[in-house]
Structure 1
Amino acid sequence: MRKLLVCLVALLLHGAVVTAAELRGTGDLGIVIERAAGSVQIVETTHRVALGRVEGLGDLSHASAVFSRDGRYAYVFGRDGGLTKVDLLERRIANRVVQAGNSIGGAISDDGSLVAVANYEPGGVKVFDAETLTPVADIPSVTLADGKRAKVVGLEDSGHRRFAFSLYEAGQTWLADLADPAHPKVERFENVGKLPYDALVTPDGRFYIAGLFGEDGLALIDLWHPEKGATHILEGYDKGEEPLPVYKMPHLEGWAEAGDLLFLPAIGRHELLVVERRDWQEVGRIPVHGQPVFAEARPDGRQVWVNFAHPDNDVVQVIDVPTLRVVDTLRPGKAVLHLEFTPRGEQVWISARDSDEVVVYDTETRTVMTRINAAKPSGIFFTARANRIGL
């Protein structure tokens, strides 16, 4: 009888765990940042529904996220220096540390073992064990004339336990090798340009590109051949023209690659630059509704969807890549902040902060499939990112 009771208790406990996880895979899950509430909604893209909310993540006013290799855990980087590990299946905080005073995002290593955080205050990068969030490395940035450290921006996974990042006030890019986390090896690229403000790694992992706020053009580093140093591309694209006021900086991770073309927001212009990937030369410009913030390519490369800075931020435009023309102008809601495609691109999820909604579109018909209530939503991140380089 005692053995029977033990077995029954074990089965009941197992059932409780199964119920919590709902025997669910993670491939169609994601999170929506609720910036004002310090919470995230866990969403599922197959049925286009919200599954639940996880609270207590701190200041999410400029939050981003990466995922574990299996897609079960989201690592959320908060503006208050918080790094929170969220269990998407059990819908709870698995671990949380406040590791700095002000942070601006992070990355996870290609093997899923290390999570790195870019910090404004104090400037530098801190690296944590992805399983336990135990600190394993601290890489301080350079000290400036005022005694403060330079802010770190544009932190990206660059393969083989390496992270690339830029130092905003110092005009530098560093490549940190954490094959041995206890003894990081840092390669410095100095004088890359004025005020690098964000960066991306191309989807094949080869190039690190940093935007330069203080000058026209971008800094490029070939990660296959870092010994070549940093070079400049697209220099003087705005030469001779009076730039418009910049209300919100473009996000480089949102810059679109479709085939051999890159679509880049022009700082201070109502234009997208079209760049040929093979030689990094500008081959065209597309006039758009406002100052672009995110330009996201549908996974098949046929379309690019663009959102805009204030005061034009209630609009999303759709660009047809073969013709390089705007083919649709949509109004999802007030203050569109972010958009994210499902892995095969049949849906795009758009956050409309001031409408308190996430709006889901069919990308072929460009019709609304559903609207999901959310408290001041901003970033949307799907677990498919776990299998993409540079995110």
Structure 2
Amino acid sequence: MADRTIAARRSSRRALIPALALACLSALAGCSTAPAARGTGDLGLIIERATGRAQIVDTTQHQRLATVSGLGDLSHASVVFSRDTRYAYVFGRDGGLTRIDLLSARITHRVVQAGNSIGGAISQDGRIVAAQNYEPGGIRLFDAATLKPLADIPAIGADGRRSKVVGLVDLPGQRFAASLFESGEIWLIDASDPAHPKVDKLAAGKQPYDALVTPDGRHYLAGLYGEDGLARVDLWQDPPAVRKVMSGYGRGETPLPVYKMPHLRGWAIAQGEAWLPAIGRHEVLVADTRDGWKENARVAVAGQPVFVMARPDGRQVWVNFAFPDNDTLQVIDTRSRRVVRTLKPCRGVLHMEFTPKGEEIWFSCRDDNRVEVYRTDTLTPVASLPADNPSGVFFTPRAYRFGM
């Protein structure tokens, strides 16, 4: 009799558990359920710039999993990820810094830390989030778990002026690097003690506008808007110093109008060469990273390049363009250094992102309200996801690369 009573109770409990779970999922009132049991390695965020929202997407299934609202002004937004790739940190134009739980699709923390912000970085150990700010110009450090402020570093250059901060990247050794636009400096920031960061200040050149760090974390390269060339710092050199590279690449020619500032990131390194957008020219510059960053070649392209991105295996480089050619994508074969395909997939092609091993590329079509997915071997579309004025596309494997 006792055995039958125990068995009946167990059967009753087994029947009750799924019923309670269903009630929690349907009513969502008072029940607390754990996030879905799944990995995060194939997740990503798509920024919907006009609505202050971001989509959480599954790159394996080509699906939107959820939408997170309340992210502020995303007219210029960037994202970094925690080292466990569960959390995304969104930097908005309004100075907002927002931490999103990708599994529960909710905001865990949000602070408005500046008047105008254009991006940020996360430290090598994942404990510090750094924001780069236009207004007021400077860099602020935050605890990655709580977004508690740790340090405020005003961007006051040698000329005494406060500058916009651009090109902020993470470096090995709990360090960051950034560039100051107005004062023309590169700053190297040691955040080993995040409450008391140490800053080395180097003269860079006229108006650094963005920067990259090579995938090995050794070289920091800043593009210069105010002069013909780039500024490079070998971070293994002691003490570090700025060297100009590729100076005069447009000498003797009148630069074309620049409708959108190009972007530099570590994604442009392929097969030991850097593939870089030329300011005011319809060219991609190719520099040898193993031989003093000397110019190796130039590839003529359809317009003013904005993003120049190498496929993870380095065999292809994909390029998109500023207005009026922002309906175009071009694919360069890095072996022949030739454009092998010109695509016109949609209006307002903005950000691009490769899947981790490069079999697909996702790119936003801002003016057609969708995100397209193409295979990189056949250069054909495989999926399309609706999105409201999409811009940035960011996938979680960025967590394991410097400068992303």
**Interval containing the TM-score (normalised by the shorter chain):** over 0.9
- Per-residue Cα deviation, 1:126-181 (whole angstroms, up to 9, x for no partner): 00000000001111111698x86211111110122111101110011111111111
Q: Which moved more, 1:223-232 or 1:208-217?
A: 223-232
For 2:367 and 2:266, how far apart are their aligned partners in 1?
21
Moved over 4 A (4+): 3-20
Aligned 8 A contact 2:161 2:183 in 1? no
CA distance in 1, matches of 2:189, 2:231: 18
- Structure 1 gap segments, 5+ residues each: none
Distance in 1 (CA, whole Å) between partners of 2:71 and 2:161 is: 27
| Equivalence for 1:285 | 298
Q: Give the counterpart letter for 1:112 in structure 2.
A: G
Q: RMSD across aligned C-alpha pairs, in angstroms?
A: 2.3
Amino acid in structure 1 at the alignment position of 2:113: Q
Q: Match for 1:384: what amino acid? A: P
1:169 aligns with 2:145: no
Secondary structure of the 1:385 match is: helix
Residue 27 of structure 1 is matched in structure 2 by 41
- 2:318 aligns to what? 305
Distance 1:355 1:226 in 2: 50
The share of aligned pairs that are identical, in percent, is: 61
Following the alignment from structure 1 to structure 2, what is the Cα–Cα distance between the partners of residues 308 and 141?
31
Task: Say which of 52, 60, 79 aligns to 2:66.
Answer: 52
| Distance change in 2, residues 1:184/1:13 (3 Å) | farther
1:109 aligns with 2:123: yes
1:196-243 deviation line (CA, Å, top 9, x unaligned) = 111111111001111110001100111111514111000000000111
Separation of aligned partners in 1, 2:167 and 2:399: 18
Distance in 1 of aligned mates of 2:98 and 2:41? 20
The corresponding residue for 2:3 is none
CA contact (8 A) 1:29 1:44 kept: yes
Aligned AA for 1:357? R
Corresponding residue for 2:145? Answer: 131
Deviation digits for residues 324-369 of structure 1, max 9, x if unmatched? 1111111121000110000000010010000001000011011100
What TM-score comes out, normalization by structure 2 length? 0.92
In 2, distance between residues paired with 1:43 and 1:19? 21
Conserved? CA contact 2:214–2:266, under 8 Å:
no
Within the alignment, does 1:241 sit opposite 2:238 as a pair?
no
Does residue 1:335 correspond to 2:357, yes or no?
no
Give the TM-score, by structure 1 length.
Answer: 0.95
CA distance in 2, matches of 1:251, 1:269: 14
- Residues 1:89 and 1:288: Cα distance change in structure 2 (over 3 Å): same
User: Could you say which structure has the larger radius of gyration?
Assistant: 2
In structure 2, what is the Cα distance between the partners aligned to 1:313 and 1:356?
14
Match of 2:52 in 1: 38
1:267 to 273, 279, 284: 279
State the distance in 2 between where 1:307 and 1:143 align.
33
Equivalent pair of 1:255/1:294 in contact (CA under 8 Å): no
Return 5+ residue gaps in structure 2 as ranges.
Answer: 1-5, 26-30
Aligned length: 388
